[in-house]
Amino acid sequence: QKEVEQDPGPLSVPEGAIVSLNCTYSNSAFQYFMWYRQYSRKGPELLMYTYSSGNKEDGRFTAQVDKSSKYISLFIRDSQPSDSATYLCALGRLGANSKLTFGKGITLSVRP
């Protein structure tokens, strides 16, 4: 079983839709949870960062973490065509030489 699984997509929604992106993980040692957004032909950029179970909101974006079930979600409200991008989850843990573990990413297209 891979450490991090992300829905493969792609996902296409109409403008204004609520989008839910999900990742599951198997290692309970993960303590830090991130979402990156990557526009076409650009590098990933950090979108959301959290380290506790529950919800974290930033504008139209909400990151949700459920450590007991080992899944994380990113919700996008009132989606816009400018949200069209690839979204990657990333998980981190403490420890010598530990590195982030990334999901494979899901490509979202928001249709006008």
Partner 1 sequence: DAGITQSPRHKVTETGTPVTLRCHQTENHRYMYWYRQDPGHGLRLIHYSYGVKDTDKGEVSDGYSVSRSKTEDFLLTLESATSSQTSVYFCAISDSQGSGGYTFGSGTRLTVV
Residue 59 Cβ, how far from partner 1 at the closest point, in Å?
18
Give the integer Cα–Cα distance in Å for 13 and 37. 17
92 binds partner 1 (CB under 8 A): yes
The answer to whether residues 32 and 44 touch, using CB atoms and an 8 Å cutoff, is: no
13: left (phi over 0), alpha (psi -120 to 50) or beta: beta
Q: How many residues bind partner 1 (CB under 8 A)?
A: 25
- Residue 63, Cβ density class (10 Å: 0-12 exposed, 13-18 middle, ≥19 buried): buried
Sole window of 11-19, 54-62, 70-78, 94-102 interacting with partner 1 (rule: CB under 8 A): 94-102
Please give the residues from 22 up to 51 whose contact with partner 1 meets the rule CB under 8 A: 31-32, 34, 41-46, 49, 51
Q: Which residues bind partner 1 (CB under 8 A)?
A: 31-32, 34, 41-46, 49, 51, 88, 90, 92-95, 97-100, 102-105
